[in-house]
Chains A and B, each alone.
Chain A
């Protein structure tokens, strides 16, 4: 690995949890000599995916929409680790993060393959980043935590992440616990 990390900050407004998780993640990555790029997605011009499949059958590998969504997709492919930061909405990602994730399908192939009996898309590239998803809720519920964990693992299959880890925090989590859990999750996701 070249130790290139991309942090996709999916906050939807002012969000202390986004600041805290970003701070802890960046601090740990710096101690491990990672080259970190952070994108605050709500500040970027990213249109929603229009579901045209043009990125597969018109301009293969590149979204037909010429905006920052293309840059995010490229940055994902060029990274060894992608960290999602997101408030959890209905068990899943924020719409700011999801917009970027929806627009990242140019980096996979349209061609189908079967994985453990299910149909998924083939790789376009030889290498894909590992993924750490950090999400937070006002009140952690079993359902939402379970969905968040499942989505991260399902995304790993569809987006070819060699490894994916997800952590769910409640917003009242104290700094020490949050820092320790983020460091542990980062260690886990990057270890061979």
Chain B
């Protein structure tokens, strides 16, 4: 990258990493538009930076020159996955190396949950916002997705709107939240389809009849 280039840092908070996760796939729908506009884009995996000092230092240096920081992660039990919390907590200690008071980067989060209601990400979004405020970043909003972050045409279009807003350095339009939080199907259908999917996957593993096992049942 060169000094005049705009720069986005993507933090992937899924254990599946920057290659295979839904979080990364969703983030790419935003970064593609930035890269087309010649932005530099650097990706880091929160689980990995905790294991490697070299990767950690590279992430801190990258964040120090970022115009935008994007955290993309799945919802785990009403919050952020444990390694994401640890990464954010450690980043607070590195705050002085990352943030300049004059020109703090924008921060936004892109969270997806396994339920059909995107609103179930709300508490985790609030946690990211507190982190962003503690770091002195410019909070640009949390984008919430349900249904495991299933990419539909509608979702892709909304994420492209995010990309455009970042490129133009303007607020993320309200239409994004309206689009991403609209359920992709009716809840009863999600329950029906989801339960069918679990049975099918368990059957493929030869454990269809053990799905309701109670290995820790109290006697």
User: Which A residues form the contact surface with B (CB < 8 A)?
Assistant: 12, 48-51, 53, 56-62, 73-74, 77-78, 89-96, 98-99, 101-102, 104-105, 107, 109-114, 117-120, 124-125, 127, 143-144, 147, 150-151, 154-155, 158-159
Q: Which residue on chain A has the smallest CB distance to residue B116? A: A119
Asked if B83 is an interface residue, CB under 8 A from chain A, the answer is: yes
Report Cα–Cα, A90/B131, bound state, in Å: 6
Report Cα–Cα, A77/B215, bound state, in Å: 10
Specify which chain A residues have a CB less than 8 angstroms from the CB of B154 in the assembled complex: none
Say whether, besides A91-B127, A119-B190, A120-B115, A107 and B216 are in contact (CB < 8 Å).
yes
Report Cα–Cα, A120/B85, bound state, in Å: 23
Report Cα–Cα, A48/B127, bound state, in Å: 19
Report Cα–Cα, A118/B187, bound state, in Å: 8
Asked if B16 is an interface residue, CB under 8 A from chain A, the answer is: yes
User: Which B residues form the contact surface with A (CB < 8 A)?
Assistant: 14-16, 47, 74, 76-83, 85-86, 88-89, 115-117, 120, 123-124, 126-128, 130-131, 134, 187-188, 190-191, 194-195, 198, 201-202, 205, 207, 210-218
24 A-B pairs with CB atoms under 8 Å apart are A50-B16, A51-B74, A56-B202, A57-B207, A57-B211, A77-B217, A78-B218, A90-B131, A92-B79, A92-B124, A98-B77, A98-B81, A99-B82, A109-B211, A111-B194, A111-B198, A111-B211, A112-B191, A119-B115, A119-B117, A119-B194, A124-B214, A125-B217, A127-B218
